[in-house]
Amino acid sequence: MTKYDNNFTDQLREHLSIVDVVSRRVPLVKKGQNYWGCCPFHNEKTPSFAVNEDKGFFHCFGCGKSGDIISFTMESEHVDFKTAISELADMAGLKLPEYKPKSQQQIDAEESYISITMAAAKLYAEKLFTPDGAHALEYIRGRGFSDEMIKKYGIGYAPKNNLIANMFANTKQDKLIATGLCRRGEFGMYDFFRDKLMFPIFNARGQIVAFSGRSLDGSEPKYINTTDTEMFHKRQTLFGFNFARENIHRANRAIIVEGQIDAIQMQCNGFGETVAPLGTALTEDHIAIICKANRNIIFCFDGDNAGQKAAARACGIVLPFLRDNSDVRFAFVTGGKDPDEILRKSGRAEMEKIINNAVPLVDFLWNIANKNFLIKTPSGRTQAEKFLKQNTDKIQDNLLKYEYERDYKNRRYKEWRNYNNQTDLSNIDVPEIDNVIKNTLVFIVNKYPELAERYGDFISRFKLNFDMIQKDINLDFNSAEKYLVSLKLQKYIESLEKQKRDLMVNSLSGKNDVHEEIRRIDEELIRMHEKFDLLV
């Protein structure tokens, strides 16, 4: 069998949730830490087929079969390894490379890469505690980093001279260049990182594959990262994920912040489930990696315009990954601060408040629609409605998508209709109704927003509080609509009878000749009573 590139198969495992892959063929139900279903490889009536999303592994306690997404696809689809990889690549939206047997030269190159980056990280770490790195050490300690934190995360200092180029002078230049640590210039090799505070970047297996360097003299850009290499792709790497993976499992959520210092401070102050992108906007690859670990995500951004835009973009990216077991929220740090500053100045409790007050995605998207469009106007409401539909259409779980649409339809009725009726209702008498009718109307509006839209002009006249919590009433959709039509007819009949009484009073006082008007009302009453009798 052809030997395939481990990097790509690992990439597939990082991008695809085994629950998503298996559930295409096997209905799964979550119980405890596992998902359970009837084994597709032997006949059974009682589910003994377990899927663990965190480990990316399935096992049948009946027939003993077990494996990952690749072996499951091979077994369930009855295809060979190459076909399974191809199908999974399509599912992940990844381009399938042309595979060739990995040569010894490739294996040696990868080992050389890791040995150079690990050795470079050691040199940087040592330099931080020398006179050359004194200003870098002072800076990082000033940011609240203890020596223990510095050691754990391998933080170091790249001096102004060509430390790496000189230390690896006897190493082939192409190998150094392949790591991104050095470049070839007119006068020979030179270091890419100079006078930088250095943060090693680990892959999921805990190997150092790249670096992020922070400027210390105030120059821009503030951070520079290793350019993409064979072993490192910025769009597919989350800073701190190697440390956070187990904590994400235990906390049953992931927190995403904007930078590596924020991520480290969060991890060291009780939020071990925190990760950060590397100086780039979030990508689908980042979200895929997180969702494979856990679909409960809190995005924690600055509260300024840039942070709001970043959150809106993250919202659009995460929507296709939502499932019925997802809990996605958005937290904002206001006042020009970031998580690092909050933790240093106000402590963990204050950060906990910010995280606990995170806004659910369904509310965040609704708030964007109300903020970005002029909903006081018909055209603004139309644009906002289109915006909501464009985003809910991204949800791939059809039942979840329906619930989002239903929720927004309900909100549109309760919140946006006020703009249509606030002027018109001022001179209209509010019909009298008892508490039973009030409760029934509130139930119908919340249960069947389609009916609320259809009979909105009538229901809105009662000026009810539709946020009241109501017990379930035994009314299906058709019965609820019949109730509304009956009530509407009843109230119309009551208004006609009141008009008739008023006219008769006027007639007795001799003010006007109202006989013709009374006759017309009588005819209308006969017609309405006939309609009402048909409904009862």
Q: Is the pLDDT of residue 518 over 60?
A: yes
> Could you give the C-alpha distances from 211 to 49, 118, 144, 197, in angstroms and in order?
42, 11, 21, 10
pLDDT of residue 4: 46
Q: Which of 178, 171, 206 is nearest to 192 (CA)?
A: 178
Name, in order, each residue with C-beta under 8 angstroms of 137's C-beta and a sequence gap of 6 or more.
128, 129, 157
Across 25-37, average pLDDT: 86
DSSP code of 412?
Answer: I
pLDDT of residue 11: 76
- The string of pLDDT tens digits covering residues 135-194 is 999 999 999 999 999 999 999 999 999 999 999 998 999 999 999 999 998 888 999 999
**Percentage of residues in the chain with pLDDT exceeding 90?**
41
> Please, which pLDDT band fits residue 1 given cuts at 50, 70 and 90?
very low
Q: What's the mean per-residue pLDDT of the chain?
A: 85
- Joined tokens for residue 17: 């949730």
pLDDT of residue 424: 40
pLDDT of residue 130: 96
Q: Please state which of the ranges 196-210, 454-468, 519-533 shows the lowest mean pLDDT.
A: 454-468
DSSP code of 416?
Answer: I
- The string of pLDDT tens digits covering residues 98-110 is 656 666 777 777 8
> Please, which pLDDT band fits residue 58 given cuts at 50, 70 and 90?
very high
DSSP code of 427?
Answer: G
| Range 236-250 burial, b when 16+ CB lie within 10 A, else e | bbbbbbbbbbebbbe
pLDDT of residue 99: 59
> Please, which pLDDT band fits residue 115 given cuts at 50, 70 and 90?
very high
pLDDT of residue 479: 87
246: Cα within 13 Å, side-chain hemisphere: 3
Name, in order, each residue with C-beta under 8 angstroms of 421's C-beta and a sequence gap of 6 or more.
457, 460
Across 346-355, average pLDDT: 94
For residues 209 and 233, give the distance between their C-alpha atoms in angstroms, rounded to a whole number.
9
| Range 256-290 burial, b when 16+ CB lie within 10 A, else e | bbbbbbbbbbbbbbebbbbbbbbbeebebbbbbbb
pLDDT of residue 429: 52
Across 262-286, average pLDDT: 91
Work out the burial of residue 193: count CB atoms within 10 Å of its CB; fewer than 13 is exposed, 13-18 middle, 19 or more buried: buried
Q: Is 472 left (phi over 0), alpha (psi -120 to 50) or beta?
A: beta
For residues 230 and 137, give the distance between their C-alpha atoms in angstroms, rounded to a whole number.
31
For strand 327-333 and strand 296-302, is the pairing parallel, antiparallel, or unpaired? Answer: parallel
pLDDT of residue 484: 86
pLDDT of residue 7: 65
Across 517-524, average pLDDT: 82
pLDDT greater at residue 526 or residue 7: 526
Across 247-271, average pLDDT: 93
Angle made by CA atoms 200, 206, 209, in degrees to the nearest 5: 45
Asked whether 51 and 58 are in contact (CB, 8 A), the reply is yes
pLDDT of residue 367: 93
Q: Is the pLDDT of residue 122 over 60?
A: yes
pLDDT of residue 128: 97
Domains defined along the chain, listed by start: 6-92 (3.90.580.10), 104-232 (3.90.980.10), 236-371 (3.40.1360.10), 425-535 (no CATH)
Q: Is the pLDDT of residue 6 over 60?
A: no
> Please, which pLDDT band fits residue 489 given cuts at 50, 70 and 90?
confident
Q: Is the pLDDT of residue 403 over 80?
A: yes
> Which amino acid appears at position 469 of this protein?
I
pLDDT of residue 512: 61
Q: Give residue for tokens 């690092």.
A: 340
Q: Which of 419, 317, 321, 308 is nearest to 359 (CA)?
A: 308
Q: Count each helix (H run) and each strand (E run) in the chain, helices first.
A: 24, 16
- The string of pLDDT tens digits covering residues 417-455 is 655 544 343 344 556 778 888 888 888 887 887 777 677
pLDDT of residue 225: 93
pLDDT of residue 2: 41
> Could you give the C-alpha distances from 311 to 138, 257, 330, 361, 499, in angstroms and in order?
33, 11, 7, 10, 57
pLDDT of residue 425: 36
- The string of pLDDT tens digits covering residues 196-238 is 999 999 987 789 999 999 999 888 888 999 999 988 988 889 9
